[in-house]
Amino acid sequence: MKRLRPVLAQLLVIVPATCLMMTPASAQDPAAPEPAAPATPAAPAGLPADPVGYFIGMSVGQQLAGQGFKPEDFTPAGIAEGILAALAGKEPALTGEQMQAIVQQIQTTLEARQEAVMAERGKVGAANLEKSSLFLEENAKKEGVKSLASGLQYKVLTAGTGQKPTAEDIVRVHYTGTLIDGTVFDSSVERGEPAQFEVGGVIAGWRQALQEMKVGDKWMLYIPPQLAYGERGGPGGGIGPNEALIFEVELLDIVR
């Protein structure tokens, strides 16, 4: 059978590695008899009727969504037709030139969407930077708030008497992180378990503050964007680009 170059390989991986353990019929010995299809057990209540198909579809869908595809870019029938044709070893219904043209169309669409996302992110980042700057400017005037040359601001809530950690030390802390509007985005206090990490492995604002703190200290940290997640924003989308962050941090111990 004539095989076309896999032009879509650069855009997506259709089946995850875990699915490659299944051997397609086209890879079997042509002289061997076709094995009887195993009976499909009834799906337990609450599960999809076809769990294997659902798993494959969910895996493919997650990859497509991660690359910027939207449901309106294709039809489920078209996806199913292509998969079934490939599994059956049929000749592609599209020529190589047609497939290349579709790849170009896909690339153009996804690039345009990415540019739109970046443009919108730039607008959000500019607005956040202005709000962060105004907040920090006013916050610096409040009683008890001190500022470092880097722009980091802090307020001592409880004074400890222990040692100060270095960048190489592992520390144990309790903390609650909020945006300047009060939204909590992370909290070891709410989880009921202190966090433990290397001082040099966290954002710059934390690194600076921790090396100034003593075991037993509890501080409020007011971290400007450039010492937090900057223009990128935080992982998971809870922290936008150029957002100032507020943390209540208690240094519990230096583990090593």
Q: Which sequence positions are flagged as catalytic?
A: 175, 185-186, 203, 229, 247
Cβ–Cβ under 8 Å, residues 253 and 172: yes
Token pair recorded at residue 42 = 């009834």
Please give the Cα distance from 151 to 205 (Å, whole number). Answer: 9
Could you give the 3-state DSSP secondary structure of residue 49? coil
Q: Where are the beta strands (DSSP E) in 144-215?
A: 146-147, 153-158, 170-179, 184-187, 195-198
Cβ–Cβ under 8 Å, residues 11 and 107: yes
What sections of 88-229 are H helices per DSSP? Answer: 96-139, 188-191, 204-210
Cβ–Cβ under 8 Å, residues 131 and 225: no
